[in-house]
Amino acid sequence: MSLRTRLPRGRTLGVVGAVGALVAGGLILAPMVSASASAGCRVNYTIANQWPGGFTANVAITNLGDPVTAWTLGFTFPDAGQKVGQGWSATFSQSGSAVTAKSLDYNGSLATGASTSIGFNGTWTSADPVPGAFTLNGVACTGGVTTSPSPSKSASSSPSPSPSTSTPPPPTTGTPLGINGQLHVCGVNLCNQYNKAIQLRGMSTHGIQWFASCYNGASLDALANDWKADLLRIAMYVQEQGYETNPAAFTAQVNSYVDLAEARGMYAIIDFHTLTPGDPNYNLDRAKTFFASVAARNAAKKNVIYEIANEPNGVSWQGIKSYAEQVIPVIRAADPDAVVIVGTRGWSSLGVSDGSSETEIVNSPVNATNIMYAFHFYAASHKDNYRTTVARAAKLLPLFVTEFGTVSATGGGATDLSSTGAWLDLLDQNKISYANWTYSDANESSAAFKPGTCAAGSYTNTAQLTESGAYVRNRIRTADNFPTS
358 as an active site residue: the answer is: no
Residue 457's closest CA among 244, 217, 138, 225?
Answer: 217
Whether 138 and 227 have beta carbons less than 8 Å apart is answered as no
Whether 145 and 17 have beta carbons less than 8 Å apart is answered as yes
Judged by DSSP in three states, 396 sits in coil
Residue 270's closest CA among 296, 299, 308, 297?
Answer: 308
Give the single-character DSSP code of 357. Answer: -
Rounded distance between C-alpha atoms, residue 318 and residue 312, angstroms:
12
Whether 146 and 34 have beta carbons less than 8 Å apart is answered as yes
Phi–psi pair at 373, nearest 5 degrees: -115, 135
Judged by DSSP in three states, 462 sits in helix
Contacting residues for 196 by C-beta, under 8 A, at least 6 apart: 482, 483, 484
Rounded distance between C-alpha atoms, residue 347 and residue 377, angstroms:
9
Side chain identity at 393, as an amino acid letter? A
Phi–psi pair at 364, nearest 5 degrees: -145, 70
Q: Which of 240, 360, 403, 444 is catalytic?
A: 403
Rg (CA), the chain: 23
444 as an active site residue: the answer is: no
Phi–psi pair at 87, nearest 5 degrees: -120, 170
Burial of 383 (0-12, 13-18, 19+ CB in 10 A): middle
Q: Which of 311, 358, 360, 444 is catalytic?
A: 311
Rounded distance between C-alpha atoms, residue 201 and residue 144, angstroms:
50
Rounded distance between C-alpha atoms, residue 444 and residue 206, angstroms:
11
Give the single-character DSSP code of 13. Answer: -
Rounded distance between C-alpha atoms, residue 403 and residue 206, angstroms:
11
Q: Known catalytic residues?
A: 311, 403
